[in-house]
Amino acid sequence: MTRAIIIAEMMAGGNSITIGKETFTPDAKRDGLLDLAYEAAVERHRLLPALDGGAKTDAYISPGWPTDEECARLAHKLTRGMVYSQAEASRIIESVDGYERPHVWSRQGIDRLLWDRTYGEKWDRFTYVEKSRTCVHLEGRRYLPGAHMGCMAVLGSTEEAKSYDASLSEPHSYVSPPMELSATLKLILDTGVYRTLFISESEVHFSSGAQRAVSYDLALYRGVQVVENGIHLTAADGKPTNNRILREGTELFVALRAHSNATITDETRSRAHAWKVATDLHARGNSLREIADHLNEEAIPTLSGTGRWSPSAVKKLLDSGPETDQ
C-alpha cells in the first residue's frame, strides 16, 4: 500500500517512476489499489497546487546549521525521533555546527530550542497537541497560527450552518461564509482556524467521489470535525482499506507541502552566484585579491564551505565554472 502511495504521488506530478524493471507512468494501466491512490493524489494536487517558488529572503544562511530554528528541528529529530538525551544531542549538533555558540550547545540550550514558553506555559514547539487554559488542540491538529480561533468552515447553506451552530453547547467563534473548496482546504491545512467543516447538499460541492474523500480526510487529519448533512463523520470512506490509502496519501502530501513551504533557497549563497560575482569583477579588471575580499564581505561560502576566500580559491572558481557545486 505504501508503494502504491509513493508511485501515485510521483505520477500525480506528471512524472514517471521505475522500480526494478517496472516503469509506472500517468498513462499506464493501474490496478484498483493504485488507481484509488492515484485519483486521490491528483485531486490533492489540483485542490492545493504547489507554490510558485517565488518567496525571497534577506536572511543570512550559514554553511553550518544556520539558525536556532534549524538547530531546533535537528534537536527535535534527535531527541524525539532517535531518543538521544538532550546532552547527547547538544554534542552531536556542536560537531556539525562549525561555530562556537556555548549558550546553545548545552543541555539547557537544547531545552530552550525544543520548548516554547509563551504566556507562562511550556509548549512542545513541534508536536504540540494538548489542552491549554483557553482552548483545545484536537488530535492531529498541529500548532498553527490560528489554532485557537475555533471557526466553522461552510460548504453550502450558511443559514443551515448557523442553525446547527446555535444548537451546540459550545458554539463556534465565527461561521465563515462559503468559499471555493481549494481556498477552504488551504486555510484548514495552513492556518488551523477551523474547528468544524460543515457541508450541506454534499453532492453539489464535489466533482467526484475521490475529491470528496480527499477533502474530508484532509480535514480529519488536521483534527477538524466533519459534519455532512447534519451527520458527524469519523472517516472519509466506509472501507478501512480505502481509508488507509487516503490517510497515507494525505500524510505524504502534507509532509511534502510543509517541507516546500518551510524551505527557503537563498541563491546568493550558491556557487553559481559566487562564480557570477567573481567573473563580473574579473571582467572589470579587479585583482584576485580584490575579488576574494568582496566574496568574504558578502559572506558567500567558499568551495569547501569553510574558511575564507583567497586569491588561489578565486582562481580555482573562475577556472572550474559555476556548475560543479559541492
Q: Which of 268, 265, 270 is nearest to 317 (CA)?
A: 270
The C-alpha angle 232, 237, 239, rounded to 5 degrees, equals 125
Query: Which of 2-8's residues contact partners 24+ apart within 8 Å by CB, and which partners?
Result: 2/248, 4/33, 4/34, 4/37, 4/245, 5/37, 5/41, 5/245, 5/248, 5/249, 5/252, 6/252, 7/34, 7/37, 7/38, 8/34, 8/37, 8/38, 8/40, 8/41, 8/249
Between strands 115-118 and 121-124, the pairing is antiparallel
At residue 175, what is the residue type? V
User: How do residues 136-185 score in pLDDT, each as one tens digit?
Assistant: 333 334 446 676 788 999 999 999 999 999 999 889 999 999 999 999 99
pLDDT band at 298 (very low <50, low <70, confident <90, very high): confident
**Distance from C-alpha of 162 to C-alpha of 164, rounded to nearest angstrom:** 5
Taking the CB of residue 172, how many other CB atoms lie within 10 A of it?
20
Taking the CB of residue 118, how many other CB atoms lie within 10 A of it?
7
With the C-alpha atoms ordered 193, 129, 259, 57, is the resulting torsion angle positive or negative? positive
Adjacent-strand bridge partners of 116: 123
User: How do residues 11-53 score in pLDDT, each as one tens digit?
Assistant: 887 888 888 888 888 887 777 788 889 999 999 999 998 765 4
The backbone torsions φ and ψ at residue 269, rounded to the nearest 5 degrees and listed phi first, read -100, 5
User: Chain-centre distance of CA 103, in angstroms?
Assistant: 29
pTM of the model: 0.59
The backbone torsions φ and ψ at residue 130, rounded to the nearest 5 degrees and listed phi first, read -160, 180
User: Chain-centre distance of CA 180, in angstroms?
Assistant: 22
User: How do residues 250-277 score in pLDDT, each as one tens digit?
Assistant: 988 887 776 565 444 556 667 888 899 9
User: How do residues 70-100 score in pLDDT, each as one tens digit?
Assistant: 566 677 767 766 667 777 777 777 766 555 5
